[in-house]
Structure 1
Amino acid sequence: MWGVLQQQLKQLPIWMGLVILGFFLIVDIIALNKPHSVADQSLRRLDNLVYDWRFQALPPERDSRVPIVIVDIDELSLKKEGRWPWSRSKLADLVTALERQQVKLIGFDVVFSEPELNPVTQVLTHGQVSASAQAELQQLIPQLDGDTQFANVIAKQTVLGYFLHNTGGIHAGVLPAPFMKIEDKDQKRLSINFMPDFTGLLPQLADKALGAGFVSTLPDADGVMRRSPLILRYENGLYSALSLELARQYLNAPYVKLQTVKSGNQLRIESLAIGQNTFYTDESGMALIPYKGKAGSYPYLSATDILNNPNAIPILKDAIVLVGTSALGLTDLRTTPLQTGYPGVEVHANLLDAIIQSTDSYNASYYRPDWEPGLTFIILLVSGLVFIWILPRLEPAFMLAVAGGWLAVLILTNLAAWKSAHYDLPLAILVLSTFSIAVLNIGSGFLRTNTQKRELKTLFGQYVPPAHVERMLENHHLAGLEGESRHMTVLFSDIRNFTTISEGLKATKLKQMLNEFFTPITGIIFEHNGTIDKYVGDMVMAFWNAPLLDPHHAEHAIDAALAMLHKVDELKPIFVAKGLPEVNIGVGINTGFMNVGDMGSMYRRTYTVLGDSVNLGSRLESITKFYGVKLLVGEGTYDLAPQFLYRLVDKIIVKGKREPVCVYEPVCRLEDASEGRLKRVEQYNQALAHYYSREWDAAEKILRQLHKSDPERKLYNMYLERIAELRYEVLPDDWMGVFEHRSK
């Protein structure tokens, strides 16, 4: 009987190995036949890590056959030409200047969906102008119409950008004609990404431009830009990306054609034919972005240098020019397999470059061939069966050698296919299957558990209080690394005038100052249950309610902010005594739903938060100086933390948003407020109530009293100035007193 039991125990690894192999075979089949399933998403995420690693190890080696130059609206351009947005007449001058340089094509990674305000029209509408002066001014309207000037110069060589998106029924501007319309019966057969909304072009620009392409991107679930759509569907029309439209214009291709293969009742896109060129995509028209290298792989020229340089610039002759932005507050930065902070305009440049170069003799695109699923299944099945049969018969050392050798073969073969044929072959499921069967036979379950603990400690140890880490190690269910949407509070804080401060200090002094500043600030955030997201220069970002739940996250964030401001006041004389500059900070806090999780690539990952609520928190911090306050919070934070005394600061629309929000200044906790402070805040809030009711005299009277008692408070004077302007204007019936911030 004992012998039978021993025999059964010997057979257990074989049977368990078959179970493991069967599991991976089923996962492979489900992932293939049910896109977006749990199996597909899990394998895709793992293969994305492999993809990033391959790009790091073997980036494409590609020389541009046609010069692609990025004209950058950078800080220097804004300094010399004025803040963004520039007038359309200045953009017309930029296009004219580029045409003088004999460029081949011009593409704008900028969207022009709304008309520019004509200054003459504004004067006639809002000013008190005599009849004779009106007649003279009417004649000036065409001369100062920036949209017309811009439209008149974009017909020959300029391709404009627009957005296709799914953000709540927005239909702004107009769309160009689709390059192809699909019949109703084919709409369900094709899996092209459908976008129900658009932010299009100003009609007169759409009519005049040489062409137009969408600049929308669809990053992967972890926020990394590995692939980008070359075609998207709106209604029954197919639209091309900016890079695809530029390539079509450059190649003088009369059409873009879908090359498809039948798969059951479905039509799978295999590639796009752009004239004589072929560029491979996936079944939905998404293309893997063949990054030529890190940021700066293409030459950059400052827009102001183009506008003010009458001489020939050799690099621009016969070049394709992409106009984009890198100025602070305007930068379109993406996370890519090669680096974070990658300019979005270079994504278009890489795709454009690769499409132009993809000919019959050379394939610049990276893709998964149609035969890949069958090959992967065969390798998975055969290698699994061989391992299940061989490994139980080997000593542990030989098990490691065989398993390691086979893994090396899989990896090197995968790299060779990537390098030589540009095949993006999956590796994760093959490695996982091999590894799982090997682990089963050498009994390393304990090591895997220990490794998970070390990873958790490494990931969170620098960002959350040590007690939190211990709780997570003891109770894994309390926190996870997977991305999720959660109602949270985020805090942004940075040092005022840091650029000036840093320029006046030596590197050692600057390091000393930042260390002595961040150490107590971080301690305060930890004391109030916050999680440090990141430090960027002088900026610190933190959030609450992750990784551990905190039902009082808004209250704790405000307490932390007030404690930070108090600590900064304590540090000022200490810094001065040490020969360091005085430090002041601005803090912005917002509460709302955010995406939180472990994000990034194989070589760099971080536990962070993303989303519109996060962006609003950053914007609130940036406008504290505008209002002369040190701390601003959004409506969500205000609603969740009634324990504080608040001063309503403004109703605003921040850059990039359409819906107004109220922003508040937390003064102190209610129980700590003196009678004098309560009275002043109550008077101020009463003045704002009169202001929003258009009761100018009543509002002005209170504000003047407050300004007299506290002339240094910027808010009082700001609203007095607004009242002086508004009382003589004819306001629309729906005026709500909303102020729009046009810069970030």
Structure 2
Amino acid sequence: MLSQLGKTHSGLIAGLLALALFLAALLLMPREWRNVSRERAFDVVLAADRQIRRSNPQETASAVPVVVVDIDRRTLDSLGPWPWPRETMARLVEAVASGKPAVVGIDVLFTQVDTRSPAALARQLGSLTGNHDISALAGGLLDGDKHLAAAMKSVPVALGFVLDADKADAVPGVPVLARRPVVLDGLWRMTGGLGPVSPLVDAAKGLGALSLPGDADGRIRRVPLLVGAGEATRPGLALEAIRLFERAPAYSVDADPQRIIVGDLEVPLPGDGLLRLAGADIRKRQARTIAAADVVNNNAMHRARLAGAIVLIGGSAPELGGLRETATDPLVPSVEIQADAIQQIYARRAPQAVPLGFALTLVMGLIAVVAASALSPVLGAFVGLTALAALWSGAILASLVGDRLIDPVMPSIGGLFVFMTSSVSSYALVARREARIRSRFEQHLAPAVVKRIAENPGLLKLSGEKREITALWTDIEDFTAMTHRAGPEQLVAVLDEYIEGMAAIVMKHGGMVDKIVGDSVHAFFNAPLDLKDHPQRALDCAEEIRIWAKEFQSRNEPSHIGFGRTRIGIETGEAIVGDIGIRSKLDYTAHGDSINSAARLEALNKRYGSTICVGPFAAARCTTTLFRPLGVASLRGLDVPVEVFEPWPPEASADWRERYIAAYRMIESDKAGAALLFEGLAAECPGDPVPRMLAAELRSVLSA
């Protein structure tokens, strides 16, 4: 059963095996590889999402203004090289605060005390010299940390810390309260954190994580909402800036659905505590960014933009070390990433992955199997492309409508792999089947019929069937004597030309050349495909053979070796047709009384002098006026003798035909009179041997 299934449905089997192999490879693939592949697929979906939203005139900017004050190369040229003294940073914070922003978030890590201000230098010099008087001078000198702390007190400021696996220091922060148990089993957690120096922590209103987690390919696609620093749960810088803007005293987390609540703002909270970035339009980034030099240099227009906004201070200059690779840009300042997160949160967007990759791959694979193995190539390709279009459209729509991320890439690859495998296997099966059919029938049937069978093998039954056919049997008169007159090469050349012409005529009329046996051609009509009016088609074929064979006899080579007349027998009846033989040698042929009768009828031409001898069943299926009776004969397989016929010779006139019928009817009642009439008819048509042979047979009977 499996062997037969493989022979008939190899495309289906190959497709299912390819699908199983692909799914197994997907399950065995290292987790990091799967994650990278999935995230890059999400990148593509989100890129399409952004493009559609950008073209939507209703798409508006966030209701909360976000401004990035950028420490760029121009700023470093203006205010001094990095790292800056705390005094310079204090000047920048004071300049920003003068614009009256609602909140300031600083994407710079201040982990060490100031060492470059006059007070810091006095302390260092006093320590080195052991002179306490010099150290005491520090109290009256400019102190960078104190100056920066004083500047931070004029506006709510959120500073940053980083997670550190080598420390176990606690990171201060506001509490995260749980209304109901939430699941944060994937929370990014380390043993401790590294934060700003104490004077700055005391002056700041908030503290958030600056650390940005990279995926296996090194790209930043997420910003922490919450992180774990030791036993404590702390916010990311973006979320902490939002808390200060919302004037919330603490965070609250809740379940059903799992979310974090900041004042009146609710943000979906994944189990890993990370916000998946949807990506930002580079034009919007440029529009919200101001060079720090313009703010410090008292540019009133730029300072006016800061009023009431969430302002983030960070740097795009490479010296600050804050450039990161994201899905949209290889070099994005981390401060811009934090700003993207803030705007995304206020836009109520929190893309979340939907784990449908395996199921969609299975569905796409099954669709591909059906499309490749059960449908025509054009229709199969159309169905496959439609499924791919539906998959990608659904993934993009899920992002646009529900911020749900579905991976369309892996199911697409799986579907294409299965489709190609199944198609190649199906094509190979079809090619083998067509080659087998063509090799089996191209020498027996007309090319158009072979093509039709090859394109639709379901029309063909090779295993054996009973069907009505019309058999046509030919032979060459005095062939044995001709073989003695002709040389071997000459005989073979003439016979090849003869057989080729005969076969062409048979196939022209829709017949199948069954066998070439010496000088004989065995053919039948209405097999392997149905042929309407097959008895008439066989008769028309015989008439053309008679004319062609007579012309062939007159050619130089056949005439030189005395090529004989072609005799033909035709009969209609049921036969068993199909493949006969052994596996290495199968022959599509027919067996039945009609075949035997056609052979017997061909031989009767010797008795009657006719060229085409037609049996009673074939004659009854054709126009009766086409035939003249030849006599009554016994045919193999029939219990009683039957009347046989021949088409009228084309040169016979209507009067001559009437007198022939009259003579034939006299055979039973007056053989002598009938013989006399046939002799007269033979004298009028010396080229027609039938009346002469009938007269001679009657005289022989009378003289016996």
For the aligned pair, the TM-score class normalised by the smaller chain equals 0.5 to 0.7
Paired residues of 1:256 and 1:272 also in contact (CA < 8 A): yes
Residue 217 of structure 1: CA displacement? 0.6
**In the alignment, which of 275, 284, 303 is matched to residue 272 of structure 2?**
284
Using a 3 Å threshold, how does the CA distance of structure 1 residues 125 and 322 change in structure 2: closer, same or farther? closer
Which residues in structure 2 correspond to 1:609-624 (within 5 Å)?
none
Tell me the equivalent position of 1:407: 388
Q: Counterparts of 1:378 and 1:310 in 2: how far apart (Å)?
A: 57
In structure 2, the residue corresponding to 1:152 is in which secondary structure?
helix
Q: Counterparts of 1:200 and 1:194 in 2: how far apart (Å)?
A: 15
Paired residues of 2:156 and 2:205 also in contact (CA < 8 A): yes
Check if 1:180 corresponds to 2:176.
Answer: yes
Check if 1:274 corresponds to 2:262.
Answer: yes
Residue 379 of structure 1: CA displacement? 4.6
Q: Counterparts of 1:111 and 1:346 in 2: how far apart (Å)?
A: 16
In structure 2, the residue corresponding to 1:153 is in which secondary structure?
helix
Tell me the equivalent position of 2:323: 333
- Runs (4+) off by over 6 Å: 127-131, 186-189
Check if 1:348 corresponds to 2:344.
Answer: no
Tell me the equivalent position of 1:558: none
Paired residues of 1:43 and 1:429 also in contact (CA < 8 A): no
Which residues in structure 2 correspond to 1:432-447 (within 5 Å)?
432-443=413-424
Q: Which one-letter code corresponds to 2:32 in the other structure?
A: Q
Q: Counterparts of 2:137 and 2:124 in 1: how far apart (Å)?
A: 15
Paired residues of 1:72 and 1:302 also in contact (CA < 8 A): yes
Largest Rg, 1 or 2: 2
Check if 1:235 corresponds to 2:230.
Answer: yes
Residue 139 of structure 1: CA displacement? 4.1
Check if 1:366 corresponds to 2:351.
Answer: yes
In structure 1, the residue corresponding to 2:151 is in which secondary structure?
coil
Q: Counterparts of 1:235 and 1:51 in 2: how far apart (Å)?
A: 32
**In the alignment, which of 295, 308, 312 is matched to residue 318 of structure 1?**
308
Which residues in structure 2 correspond to 1:232-271 (within 5 Å)?
232-260=227-255, 270-271=258-259
Tell me the equivalent position of 1:545: none
Paired residues of 2:110 and 2:197 also in contact (CA < 8 A): yes
Residue 209 of structure 1: CA displacement? 0.5
Residue 23 of structure 1: CA displacement? 5.0
Q: Counterparts of 1:231 and 1:129 in 2: how far apart (Å)?
A: 43
Q: Which one-letter code corresponds to 2:245 in the other structure?
A: Y
Check if 1:41 corresponds to 2:32.
Answer: yes
Residue 247 of structure 1: CA displacement? 0.9
Paired residues of 2:103 and 2:156 also in contact (CA < 8 A): yes
Between stretches 52-61 and 198-207, larger displacement belongs to: 52-61
Q: Which one-letter code corresponds to 1:418 in the other structure?
A: S
Residue 357 of structure 1: CA displacement? 3.1
Q: Counterparts of 1:11 and 1:340 in 2: how far apart (Å)?
A: 49
Tell me the equivalent position of 2:71: 73
Q: Counterparts of 1:335 and 1:434 in 2: how far apart (Å)?
A: 31
Paired residues of 1:55 and 1:337 also in contact (CA < 8 A): no
**In the alignment, which of 214, 219, 222 is matched to residue 219 of structure 1?**
214
Paired residues of 2:122 and 2:138 also in contact (CA < 8 A): no
**Residue by residue, what CA displacement relative to the aligned partner does 1:659-688 show, whole Å, maximum 9, x if unpaired?**
xxxxxxxxxxxxxxxxxxxxxxxxxxxxxx
Tell me the equivalent position of 2:298: 309
Paired residues of 1:179 and 1:255 also in contact (CA < 8 A): yes
**Residue by residue, what CA displacement relative to the aligned partner does 1:242-277 show, whole Å, maximum 9, x if unpaired?**
00101111122343233446xxxxxxx843222332
Residue 377 of structure 1: CA displacement? 5.7
Between stretches 70-79 and 297-306, larger displacement belongs to: 297-306
Residue 425 of structure 1: CA displacement? 1.4
In structure 2, the residue corresponding to 1:283 is in which secondary structure?
coil
Paired residues of 2:219 and 2:324 also in contact (CA < 8 A): yes
CA RMSD of aligned residues (A): 3.5
Tell me the equivalent position of 1:204: 199
Between stretches 121-130 and 433-442, larger displacement belongs to: 121-130
Q: Counterparts of 1:128 and 1:321 in 2: how far apart (Å)?
A: 39
Tell me the equivalent position of 1:467: none
**Residue by residue, what CA displacement relative to the aligned partner does 1:261-309 show, whole Å, maximum 9, x if unpaired?**
6xxxxxxx84322233222343211111122212734422222222221
Paired residues of 1:160 and 1:212 also in contact (CA < 8 A): yes
Q: Counterparts of 1:100 and 1:188 in 2: how far apart (Å)?
A: 43
Number of residue pairs matched by the alignment = 416
In structure 1, the residue corresponding to 2:233 is in which secondary structure?
strand
Q: Counterparts of 1:270 and 1:163 in 2: how far apart (Å)?
A: 26
Paired residues of 1:171 and 1:197 also in contact (CA < 8 A): yes
Residue 161 of structure 1: CA displacement? 0.9
**Residue by residue, what CA displacement relative to the aligned partner does 1:343-367 show, whole Å, maximum 9, x if unpaired?**
2211000101122332xxxxx2222
Residue 80 of structure 1: CA displacement? 2.3
Q: Counterparts of 2:6 and 2:127 in 1: how far apart (Å)?
A: 99
**Residue by residue, what CA displacement relative to the aligned partner does 1:572-599 show, whole Å, maximum 9, x if unpaired?**
xxxxxxxxxxxxxxxxxxxxxxxxxxxx
**Residue by residue, what CA displacement relative to the aligned partner does 1:110-152 show, whole Å, maximum 9, x if unpaired?**
0011111253453465479999x96477244353221122222
Paired residues of 2:66 and 2:310 also in contact (CA < 8 A): yes
Tell me the equivalent position of 1:90: 88
Q: Counterparts of 1:288 and 1:177 in 2: how far apart (Å)?
A: 24
Q: Which one-letter code corresponds to 2:340 in the other structure?
A: N
Query: TM-score w.r.t. structure 2 length?
Result: 0.53
Using a 3 Å threshold, how does the CA distance of structure 1 residues 23 and 182 change in structure 2: closer, same or farther? farther
In structure 2, the residue corresponding to 1:339 is in which secondary structure?
coil
Which residues in structure 2 correspond to 1:126-165 (within 5 Å)?
126=125, 135=133, 138-155=136-153, 156-165=155-164
Q: Counterparts of 1:21 and 1:234 in 2: how far apart (Å)?
A: 45
Residue 177 of structure 1: CA displacement? 2.7
**Residue by residue, what CA displacement relative to the aligned partner does 1:519-554 show, whole Å, maximum 9, x if unpaired?**
xxxxxxxxxxxxxxxxxxxxxxxxxxxxxxxxxxxx
Paired residues of 2:371 and 2:384 also in contact (CA < 8 A): no
Paired residues of 1:110 and 1:160 also in contact (CA < 8 A): yes
Residue 339 of structure 1: CA displacement? 1.9
Paired residues of 2:105 and 2:158 also in contact (CA < 8 A): yes
**In the alignment, which of 349, 364, 376 is matched to residue 395 of structure 1?**
376
Q: Counterparts of 1:379 and 1:318 in 2: how far apart (Å)?
A: 47
Paired residues of 1:73 and 1:324 also in contact (CA < 8 A): yes
In structure 1, the residue corresponding to 2:67 is in which secondary structure?
strand
Q: Counterparts of 1:445 and 1:337 in 2: how far apart (Å)?
A: 40
In structure 1, the residue corresponding to 2:189 is in which secondary structure?
coil
Paired residues of 1:334 and 1:344 also in contact (CA < 8 A): yes
Q: Which one-letter code corresponds to 1:309 in the other structure?
A: N
In structure 2, the residue corresponding to 1:176 is in which secondary structure?
coil
Q: Which one-letter code corresponds to 2:49 in the other structure?
A: L
Query: TM-score w.r.t. structure 1 length?
Result: 0.51
Tell me the equivalent position of 1:485: none
Residue 227 of structure 1: CA displacement? 1.8
**In the alignment, which of 184, 188, 197 is matched to residue 193 of structure 1?**
188
